[in-house]
């Protein structure tokens, strides 16, 4: 069995220390026991758009399988929803040819319906130098597309064949870019929808990769920090794979091994930080194996509203970073509620 070499392990540990420190240093204060948990809940049938006109009594909130009293409830409908959309072009994990195809498809998405966007959209480009705002929020898709014509998207020289070292660098740059997007938008009020156009960053997980307890602790710290940031700042992340039918089934579905929320360091792998995993755990979608990228982006926008703002008081935590699984049940048959899958609670400080 291949084991991570000393040099590779050092590189990996350094990568994770920097990412975790960055996330924790810029994250909001982690929630303590009995704080309010705010959820943005989308309800759908097996197919079709989100469902409106539900009442508070139609919902049951479960925290670690225990029913919780709903402390606030508000339905949000239509294009008037207080939502901002951040469209992220990942230039770290994709090559120039694919970026060119993305640009055409993004232009098609922005100019649909005469360029009248359902919600304000900002365009961010993620490169090895960080996440940079290319175009600020606008509801005019035509203006955004025209402005993008004048921008140059930087590309990485590290390809997918660059081995473990190249993959480690791409993972580092990707997590740093994600953190920059979150911390940059977190102070803004309201719900944030992030459409991350990317095949995803390297998972660096599998039977041939071994992590020691220290590395697992670093990964767990990063998971807790990202989960808390995304929840407290009301981010819903959508993973949109631009490779379409060109993506391999194995690579495109391997993230499913890491979807379950982790409650302690010994359970983690770097795959728990995969883009599709973070997206689904935030209450968003993972979309792939479809060459119609513009259609996938529109599917994400159509998924935004109507939705329901629901809150409940978090049960007291017994230990730091205690994982709580969230489940929302809908009384009406044939409907499924989707929101973030869990959160990490902290015990109430003692006087």
Q: Classify 261 as helix, strand or coil.
A: coil
Strand partners, 329: 60
- Distance (Å, rounded) from C-alpha 219 to C-alpha 204? 12
Residue with tokens 């081995």: 163
Alpha-carbon distance of 60 to 279, in angstroms, equals 23
Give yes or no: residues 200 and 163 share one domain.
yes
Residues 157 and 291 in one domain: yes
Q: Is the pLDDT of residue 57 over 90?
A: yes
Helices (H), the chain: 6-26, 96-111, 141-148, 163-185, 213-232, 249-253, 275-281, 293-302
Strands 307-313 and 83-90, sheet pairing: unpaired
Backbone angles phi, psi at 3, to 5 degrees: -120, 145
Instruction: Note whether residue 109 is domain-resident.
Output: yes
Q: Considering the domain boundaries, does residue 67 fall inside one?
A: yes
Q: What is the CATH number of the domain that holds 23?
A: 3.40.50.410
72 lies in the same domain as 138:
no
Q: Which pLDDT tens digit goes with each residue over 291-340?
A: 999 999 999 999 999 999 999 999 999 999 999 999 999 999 999 999 99
Please give the pLDDT value at position 19.
52
Over the chain, what is the mean pLDDT? Answer: 88
Per-residue model confidence (pLDDT) at position 105: 97
Supply 252's token pair.
Answer: 């495109």
Task: Report yes or no on 350 lying in a domain.
Answer: no
Does 292 share its domain with 313? Answer: no
Coil vs helix vs strand at 316: coil
Tens of pLDDT, residues 238-264? 999 999 998 998 888 999 999 999 999
* CB-based contact 287:239 (threshold 8 Å): yes
CB atoms within 10 A of CB 256: 14
Percent pLDDT > 90 in the chain is: 72
Question: 328 in a domain, yes or no?
Answer: yes
Position 330 scores a pLDDT of: 98
Chain CA centroid to CA 208, Å:
27
273 lies in some domain: yes
25 and 90 belong to one structural domain: yes
Residues 73 and 84 occupy one common structural domain: no
Is 157 a residue whose pLDDT tops 80?
no
Whole-angstrom CA distances from 154 to 109, 124, 171, 199 are 22, 12, 17, 17
CB 186 within 8 A of CB 28: yes
* Reported pTM: 0.91
My answer on whether 276 and 130 are in the same domain is: yes
Residue 261: count other Cβ atoms within 10 Å of its Cβ.
Answer: 19
Question: Above 70 in pLDDT, residue 16?
Answer: no
Which carries the bigger pLDDT value, residue 275 or residue 81? Answer: 275
Residue 236 maps to a domain: yes
Verify that 291 and 313 share a domain, yes or no. Answer: no
> Do both 270 and 314 map to the same domain?
no
Is there a single domain that holds both residue 10 and residue 100? yes
pLDDT in tens, 216-229: 999 999 999 999 99
Section 142-151 average pLDDT: 89
Domain, as residue range, for 68: 36-77+306-345
In a domain, 56, yes or no: yes
For the chain, percent of residues with pLDDT exceeding 70? 86
Better-predicted residue by pLDDT, 326 or 149? 326
In a domain, 125, yes or no: yes
Q: What pLDDT shows up at residue 210? A: 84
Q: Total structural domains in the chain?
A: 2
Same domain, 67 and 204: no
Specify whether 40 is located in the same domain as 24.
no
Q: How far apart are CA 19 and CA 23, in angstroms?
A: 6
């Amino acid at each position: 069995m291949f084991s991570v070499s000393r040099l590779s392990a050092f590189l990996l540990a350094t990568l994770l220390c920097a990412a975790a420190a960055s996330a924790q240093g810029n994250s909001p204060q982690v929630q303590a026991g009995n704080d309010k948990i705010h959820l943005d809940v989308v309800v759908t049938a097996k197919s079709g758009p989100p469902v409106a006109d539900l009442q508070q009594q139609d919902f049951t909130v479960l925290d670690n399988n225990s029913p919780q009293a709903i402390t606030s409830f508000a339905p949000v409908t239509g294009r008037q929803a207080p939502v901002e959309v951040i469209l992220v072009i990942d230039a770290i994990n994709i090559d120039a040819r694919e970026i060119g195809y993305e640009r055409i498809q993004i232009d098609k998405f922005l100019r649909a319906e005469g360029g009248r966007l359902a919600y304000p959209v900002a365009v961010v480009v993620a490169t090895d130098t960080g996440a940079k705002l290319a175009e600020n929020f606008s509801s005019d898709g035509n203006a955004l597309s025209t402005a993008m014509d004048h921008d140059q998207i930087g590309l990485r020289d590290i390809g997918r064949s660059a081995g473990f070292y190249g993959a480690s660098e791409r993972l580092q740059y990707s997590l740093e870019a994600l953190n920059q997007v979150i911390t940059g938008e977190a102070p803004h009020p309201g719900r944030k929808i992030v459409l991350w156009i990317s095949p995803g960053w390297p998972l660096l997980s599998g039977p041939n990769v071994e992590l020691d307890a220290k590395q697992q602790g670093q990964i767990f710290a990063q998971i807790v920090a990202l989960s808390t940031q995304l929840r407290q700042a009301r981010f819903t992340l959508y993973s949109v794979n631009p490779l379409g039918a060109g993506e391999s089934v194995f690579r495109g579905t391997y993230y499913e091994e890491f979807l379950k929320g982790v409650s302690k360091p010994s359970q983690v792998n770097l795959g728990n930080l995969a883009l599709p995993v973070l997206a689904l755990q935030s209450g968003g979608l993972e979309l792939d194996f479809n060459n119609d990228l513009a259609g996938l982006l529109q599917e994400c926008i159509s998924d935004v509203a109507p939705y329901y703002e629901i809150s409940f008081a978090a049960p007291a935590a017994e230990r730091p970073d205690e994982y709580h699984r969230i489940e929302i049940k809908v009384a009406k048959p044939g409907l499924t509620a989707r929101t973030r899958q869990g959160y990490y609670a902290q015990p109430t400080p003692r006087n």
